[in-house]
Structure 1
Amino acid sequence: MTLLTLTDIGYQVGNQTILHDINFKVEAQDMITITGPSGSGKSTLLRLIAGLLTPTNGTISLAGKAWQDYDPILYRREVSYAVQQPQLFGTTVADNLRFPFEIRQETFAPERAIAALASVNLPADYLDKPVNDLSGGERQRVAILRNLLFPPQVLLLDEISTGLDEDNKQILHREIQRMNHENGVAVLAVTHDNEEISGANRLIKIVGGKMEVSE
């Protein structure tokens, strides 16, 4: 099933063309890696798909409907974006895991949050742990759980494993792969990590703002 369609996507700032003529489709359970040199437009592409930027040309559609026609909050529930430097808020881990419930006007379920923590090797008492006391790897794990407590249709990952040690990388990889296999979440990951590249079922290469390889 096609979840996401990019048609003739271009993005320009002033006289500078960042992306030009990007075309591809994303199917349920896709695991897509986006590679290319630094400055080639990879992260800009993810921000466009996330609805954080507006294409200069072309259309991005989710389930056959242009992203601009969605309520922004509803769109971002289905197309979730995770970045290299996780932005945690509030005081505790619980504040961050409560947020996905609040924006859906649902009652926070601590037992569900605890089960999610366990899935990334964090104990139950971390619910009350101050976010300022978390290591970089722990912060990234909590940020990913915030994205996945209610599985989106599409998960966008912008170099989330950069700077993490091997243990934290493996924990993140395992949980993301589980959501991909069990929940059908399509994953688009910008990365330079060889393991993440080899684990993709499709590879898209962006060079100079153009899609050079798609397979």
Structure 2
Amino acid sequence: MTNTIIKTDQLSYSANDKNILKNISFQVKEGDLITISGPSGSGKSTLLKLIANMIRPTSGDIYFNDKKIDLYLSTDYRKEVSYFFQNPVLFGETVRDNLTFPYEIRNLSFDETKAISLLESVKLTSDYLNKSIDSLSGGEKQRIAFVRNLLFQPKVLLLDEVTSALDHENRQIIYNIIHSLNQNKQITILWVTHNEEEFLSSNQQLIIDNGTIKEDINE
């Protein structure tokens, strides 16, 4: 029997006197690939940020492995539940600075071989390690940020329109990696996307509109 890894219970969020999410309740099983779609401003990104523990709900609860997420140390939780921004930010001066960071916060030595392998998986060569981040295109930055998130694989990956700024070739690269992580590594994925092919490629699809789950097309 597959265990529930993420659960929201009557989750609501308000900001500036506006109700953004209203009584959202759903469960995510281990190994699920769930895509989330809906109109702009419907609350999709807010939902991911709540699950990532980046913001706190106005009411309701979120559980990770049957434990409320606010009972975890934030550093421990974010190693297990990783949020990937639509427009990820690179820091430091070089690609290497970004890829060594996950090792530094764990007091571990940088595994350059693994980093190069992941770079190559997104069609970037080892030469990129020493490239200035200012010299990179938007698509290259997106792929490097993706590699940074995957150097230590989380149990849950939260993706916020991660292919929206990419051309078809780079979108397909990321698409294939996401499905490989889900199918071969059993990483649980919640993926906000407006792309119909991506939306329909999951085992469960949620539509959020006006802050509520309008439709679960697999129920």
How many aligned residue pairs are there? Answer: 215
Q: Which runs of 5+ in 1 are unaligned?
A: none
Q: Distance in 2 between matches of 1:26 and 1:149?
A: 24
- 2-structure distance, mates of 1:116, 1:16: 42
Match of 2:34 among 32, 35, 40: 32
TM-score (norm 1): 0.97
Q: 1:174 is aligned with what amino acid? A: N
1:71 — aligned with what? 73
3-state SS of paired residue (2:127): helix
Amino acid at match of 1:146: R
State the SS of the aligned residue for 2:62.
strand
- SS of 2:163's partner is coil
- Identity in percent: 46
Alpha-carbon deviations, 1:97-144, whole Å to 9, x = none? 111111111111111111111111111111111111111111111111
Match of 1:90 among 89, 92, 95: 92
C-alpha distance in structure 2 between counterparts of 1:107 and 1:163, whole Å = 33
2:164 aligns to what SS in structure 1?
A: coil
C-alpha separation in 1, matches of 2:108 and 2:39: 42
Work out which of the residue numbers 32, 47, 72 in structure 2 matches 1:45: 47
1:162 CA drift (Å): 1.1
Give the structure 2 partner of residue 146 of structure 1: 148
Deviation at 1:163, TM superposition (A): 2.2
Q: Please list the CA deviations of residues 149-168 of structure 1 after superposition, one character each: whole Å capped at 9, or x if unmatched.
A: 11111111111111210011
Q: Is the partner of 2:214 in helix, strand or coil?
A: strand
1:213 partner amino acid: E
The Cα of 1:14 is off from its aligned counterpart by 4.2
1:166 to 134, 154, 168: 168
TM-score normalised by length of structure 2: 0.95
Deviation, 1:70, is: 0.7
The structural deviation recorded for 1:66 is 0.8
| CA distance in 2 between partners of 1:100 and 1:213 (Å) | 37
User: Aligned partner of 1:92: which letter?
Assistant: T
Provide the residue aligned with 2:103 in structure 1.
101
Alpha-carbon displacement from aligned partner over 1:18-72 (angstroms, at most 9, x marks no partner): 1011111111221111111111111111110111110111111111111111111
Helix, strand or coil at the partner of 1:200: coil
CA displacement at 1:15 relative to structure 2: 2.8
Q: Moved runs in structure 1, 4+ residues, more than 3 A?
A: none
Aligned to 1:198: 200
Partner-residue secondary structure (3-state), 1:151: coil
Contact 1:204/1:211 (<8 A) preserved: yes
